[in-house]
Structure 1
Amino acid sequence: MFAIRLARRSCATAFPRRYFFNFSRKVEPPPTSRALRPDDDDPELFHLHSQSPNRDIRMRGERIKKLASCPVCLNVEGTRRNVKHECPDCGWPTHCSGEHWEQDEEHAKYCTRLRQVNEDDHDLRSGREMHEYAMPGPIPYGEVVSLSNWDIFYYTRGFPSVDTDRAGRHLSKLLTYPMTIAGVLHEYSSLTTRNQRLTPEGLRSLNALRTSLHAPMGAPESHGPSPERPPVRLFLLGARAESSLPPHVWNQLSLMFPSATLSIYHIGPEVSLPKVSLPPEEQASSAPESSPTPSAASERKGETGAAADAMAITPAEKEALKSLRVWKPEIRELRMSKYTRNEVSVWGVPSYMNPINDQLQIGALRSPYQDIHEKFGPFDPYTDVFFAFQPGFGFPSQHTPGITQIASPSEWGNVIPLILETKCALFVTGFSPEDVERDVRSLEGVPGVAGEFDWILTPGENPFKSERWEVAEFDPRLMVRTNWGIWGIRGKRRELQEVA
């Protein structure tokens, strides 16, 4: 009987009912999207930006409408109109009107990725328990971690099973900064001379660093710092998003080197700081404003009014949108632990230092690097290494028109020569193949840089890039991946010749 019922149910769903008086009515096919949906599409996570339950996403939609231009107006009519129409397939504001959205056949190339980002953002803010963010502890004795790619790393490192592509994208975005560093410096790095990514000079530089990061050959990798090896200093130049990562995320980098002591310094004018280290004017502005409790709001307006109030944009946000020209993400304020120290008196700039454990300490200095370079000296290629995540060397200077940022003295022009003088390794990432090529080409013809460095890592794809697409708010068609590529240089070694 159960089999008969199941067969009847399947027949009923496979063949829709047709009534006698509807025999001449044309059955309309269901509406189909012009673009393919993502493989892991979840309709419950899809929302138009203007109808999103999350305020941050609604505000992003408003910013896009202020910054982005309709591609049909630009390419066909030669005019500039802001986008207003939200694509029903991806949920992003993409065109000035529904007519232009229907005319734009190119949008199908971007629609699938935009819908994927839309659903990923709503999944992150859905309130579900993020099981993929459960971080493993110390590496058990005798186990080896492979750094070939994300999947093999997750498996050999002991992460909980990453069952979906969406979970993998979330986790890779969180870990791309620390694991990019580990993927270069670790002795089991996938970047080797065999695959022609590492040069002979690069092998010498990394062997020097690895003597400080790993136990000597044949000795066990004991957990805890060793008095025989000095701390390894990691300087992250122009730090932005990476400076706001939680300490336990950076601790994953420390666990990859159980015998080393790491000191991580985030340096740049946009680093995140705890409130105790902020300048006085920022401390006053960062004080949270008093707001009525949800219960009080619901008593005044009822459930319907409270829901509408939650969807509304505040007057302050509307005012900020009116004067919007080029939007920059807000610099986050870090949570302070009881061990956080205010280092303003030590460095002379807004700064802090937070000892995480006996193997890791994290600090940040809000200052251009050239202003504090001398305070970090002397430098040692065996213990010091520099990283610049997506620095934009090849982009036009914001302060000196007509030149690139790496040639501008107010940006990177005075920084790179100082690093090359130390003879320490400098590794640079880019968010796309074009960005990597642009930064590499910008090295040519710059005084103090061109001809003053040796290649240690050839430009190419980073195995620990973020798997998630990031969308530009001034043009949603522009999508990149954090730390897509990586390359490295070091100050040129000049052989001295004896004079007879």
Structure 2
Amino acid sequence: MMLSATSRFPSLRAQRCGKVFNQRRFIIGFVRNALGLDPPPSPDDPTPENRFHPWDQSPVGDLRERAARIRTLARCPVTGKEINYTCPLSGIPTHHSREAWEQDKQYHQSKKYEILKKVNIYEHDLRSGRPFPEFDFPQGQDFDRTVNMTNWDLFFYTRQFYSMDTEFQLAAVTKMLSYPISIASVLHQFSPYSLNPKGPVTLEGLKSLAALRYTLYPLENKTISSTKDRPMRIFILGARAEAQLPGHVWKQLQYLFPEQMFELHFVGPECLLNKEKHQYVTSSTPVVKRVDETISFVYHTDFFHVLHEAQDFFPYDPYLDVFFCFHPGFGAPETSASWLNETMKGLLETKCAIFTTGFNKADLLRDVDAVKDKYGKEVDVLMEPVKNVFGSTKWELNDMNPQEVYQFNMYIAGFRGKRYHAIEV
């Protein structure tokens, strides 16, 4: 009996089957792309179902520890006693007992548990060990491509970021990029913040931004002052988490202004962390870390007013210097004294633009009102408090009050020390 070629040579049959399979897969893939169909989801893709675990039973050790910390620090909003009950809807410890949880009508009517559940699943997703292709950030910006700063979606699209199709990807990336892109959105020529009355930017704010943009877009200026030969300095006061972001994250700011060099000055006793020892480092001299020839980090482990009085940053230039304070707590009882005295006095003396963010609207309004109340007519408002277009979309939790949720850089505002017009005598 004669055997067929494929029977006598199994490898040949396998090759033919493989070719057919590859052809079918190519055709299916072509049709799927042509029709705009998404590939079938992977079982490892994050979903609210596979990322939900009660924190006190979490497979992640540090979230079990965080649940224990909440039980130790927080108090039940109904009874005022310690927290011993984990909300079954959010998976986060919230009340003293099930009875207290059931009696908390405000908690259930407001559906606070829905946001708390997002906190839960976002934290589990970050610790899930899944691939994070969304962290593969794009490199330089082509001169013939315009960046759209209207919102996160259009920014990601026009910058050619990885397509972020889920809330998990968006939360992970926006938390990191909120700091550099919030800065960029204020300074950029296509800023989403327009002039009053339609937008939050005041006339004085337009003056300060025009000066900064004069430096940021040199090719659009016919003459450039010979004194503008140093990098633009961005001072970040009270720096903590933002000072620990990797260089490639801050590089996304520089890509938006390819003609400009930047120095990021992180100022504050918690701006320099030894990650191996998990301790903050103190240095009597600035610590400089260079990312590349266009951007560098300078860490100052002292308070701004100390460095200002020592004239370490002199001279200031409104064309080249700008200040950002992320969640500073100007008006918070526990931090207002350290901000509103010598530090704020020195900040206003610089006459440079100062922008500040808050965890929510009430937080930012409290900070802005505290500055106005303390310094009154010595302050020019540059930007009225407004929702930050590039705030983080990831929900965070206050462990001392597990029903208090917030997002980093949710609101933004701006001010500076008043510039007085020259008066002829």
The alignment's TM-score, normalised by the length of structure 2, stands at 0.83
* Paired position in structure 2 for 1:480: 406
Structure-1 separation of matches of 2:175 and 2:235: 21
CA positional deviation for 1:133: 1.2
Equivalent residue letter for 1:147: M
Does the CA-based 8 Å contact 1:271-1:331 persist in structure 2? no
Three-state SS of the structure 2 residue aligned to 1:248 is helix
From 324, 349, 365, give the equivalent of 1:387: 324
What aligned pairs does 1:249-328 form with structure 2 within 5 A after superposition? 249-274=249-274, 287=277
CA positional deviation for 1:444: 3.4
Does the CA-based 8 Å contact 1:386-1:424 persist in structure 2? yes
CA positional deviation for 1:228: 6.3
Structure-1 separation of matches of 2:92 and 2:279: 25
* Paired position in structure 2 for 1:174: 176
CA positional deviation for 1:42: 2.2
From 73, 77, 85, give the equivalent of 1:67: 73
Structure-2 separation of matches of 1:71 and 1:397: 22
Structure-2 separation of matches of 1:434 and 1:150: 23
Structure-2 separation of matches of 1:445 and 1:105: 37
Three-state SS of the structure 2 residue aligned to 1:426 is strand
Structure-2 separation of matches of 1:54 and 1:360: 37
**Moved >4 Å (runs of 4+):** 226-229, 330-333
From 39, 52, 68, give the equivalent of 1:46: 52
Does the CA-based 8 Å contact 2:270-2:280 persist in structure 1? no
CA positional deviation for 1:481: 1.3
Could you tell which deviates more after superposition, 104-113 or 176-185?
Answer: 104-113
Equivalent residue letter for 1:217: E
From 369, 380, 385, give the equivalent of 1:441: 369
Per-residue CA shift, 1:453-481, capped at 9, x if unaligned?
Answer: 21111111110011111111111111111
Equivalent residue letter for 1:433: K
Three-state SS of the structure 2 residue aligned to 1:145 is coil
Structure-2 separation of matches of 1:153 and 1:90: 32
Does the CA-based 8 Å contact 2:51-2:125 persist in structure 1? yes
* Paired position in structure 2 for 1:126: 128
Three-state SS of the structure 2 residue aligned to 1:427 is strand
* Paired position in structure 1 for 2:299: 364
Structure-2 separation of matches of 1:187 and 1:146: 10
* Paired position in structure 1 for 2:419: 493
Does the CA-based 8 Å contact 1:273-1:352 persist in structure 2? no
User: Gaps (5+ residues) in structure 1?
Assistant: 1-39, 74-79, 220-225, 276-285, 288-329, 334-342, 399-404
Three-state SS of the structure 2 residue aligned to 1:375 is coil
* Paired position in structure 1 for 2:204: 201
What aligned pairs does 1:410-449 form with structure 2 within 5 A after superposition? 410-446=338-374, 449=375
* Paired position in structure 2 for 1:466: 392
* Paired position in structure 1 for 2:214: 211
Does the CA-based 8 Å contact 2:268-2:300 persist in structure 1? yes
Give the root-mean-square deviation of aligned CA atoms. 2.1
Per-residue CA shift, 1:303-334, capped at 9, x if unaligned?
Answer: xxxxxxxxxxxxxxxxxxxxxxxxxxx7678x
Per-residue CA shift, 1:183-204, capped at 9, x if unaligned?
Answer: 0011111112163311121111
Per-residue CA shift, 1:351-391, capped at 9, x if unaligned?
Answer: 42111111000121211111111211111111000000111
Three-state SS of the structure 2 residue aligned to 1:437 is helix
Could you tell which deviates more after superposition, 194-203 or 135-144?
Answer: 194-203
CA positional deviation for 1:218: 7.7
Structure-2 separation of matches of 1:161 and 1:144: 18
Equivalent residue letter for 1:396: P
Structure-2 separation of matches of 1:396 and 1:217: 46
User: Gaps (5+ residues) in structure 2?
Assistant: 1-45
Three-state SS of the structure 2 residue aligned to 1:71 is coil
Indicate how the Cα distance of structure 1 residues 368 and 189 shifts in structure 2: closer, same or farther if over 3 A, else same. same
Does the CA-based 8 Å contact 1:175-1:249 persist in structure 2? yes
Does the CA-based 8 Å contact 1:238-1:268 persist in structure 2? yes
Q: Percent identity?
A: 39
Question: How many residue pairs are counted as aligned between the two chains?
Answer: 372
Structure-2 separation of matches of 1:274 and 1:213: 33
Could you tell which deviates more after superposition, 102-111 or 472-481?
Answer: 102-111
Per-residue CA shift, 1:289-310, capped at 9, x if unaligned?
Answer: xxxxxxxxxxxxxxxxxxxxxx
